[in-house]
Structure 1
């Protein structure tokens, strides 16, 4: 008997009603959630990478909210209430952040 493993894929997403989390639905119909703060802390854009390198990246983003989500196909461009809008989150990275 052969068992085929299927990696979870993102089928849908939306910001939570309070904008404090990204709600993700997988093609396997799992409902996952990633906090806006986790997303903001996990941004890998050049600006955030440089700020980490220079020791200027904040350790927390209390009260941060998701203000916009753009779908790029392979990932999401998420904008935040602090004005940051450079982060692109590949869908596989989002699933990792959500513990999948």
Structure 2
């Protein structure tokens, strides 16, 4: 997913990372109980639907479609991902 922000910053987030960071009730419950959510390594982002002006709901190729990703949360994920790639040299 490519994101371009109002300040012209641009980020790209991969489907696997987006799926792993889902905040739906099921995924949050799994995290609270220290259970890893199984995310297929070949998962793809299939669709994105706006939720008002504050978020986007993502649909993945594994059928998962319950996560709502607020724009500030996506920005946080994107900046964290970019920082980690910079540290890793990629």
Give 1:50 deviation, angstroms: 2.1
Pick the structure with greater CA Rg.
1
- The gaps in structure 2 that reach 5 residues or longer are 81-90
In the superposition, the TM-score normalised over structure 1's length comes to: 0.71
Q: Secondary structure at the match of 2:13?
A: strand
- Corresponding position: 1:26 with 2:5: yes
TM-score (norm. length: structure 2): 0.78
Query: Are 1:91 and 2:71 matched, yes or no?
Result: yes
Q: Relative to structure 1, is the Cα distance of residues 30 and 50 closer, same or farther in structure 2, using a 3 angstrom cutoff? A: same
Instruction: For residue 23 of structure 1, report the CA deviation from its aligned partner.
Output: 0.3
Partner of 2:55: 75
Deviation at 1:56, TM superposition (A): 5.2
- Decide which structure has greater helix share: 2
Structure 1 gap ranges (5+): 1-21
Greater percentage in strand:
1
Name 2:29's counterpart in structure 1.
Answer: 50
Q: What SS does the corresponding residue of 2:69 show, helix, strand or coil?
A: strand
| Residue-pair matches, total | 78
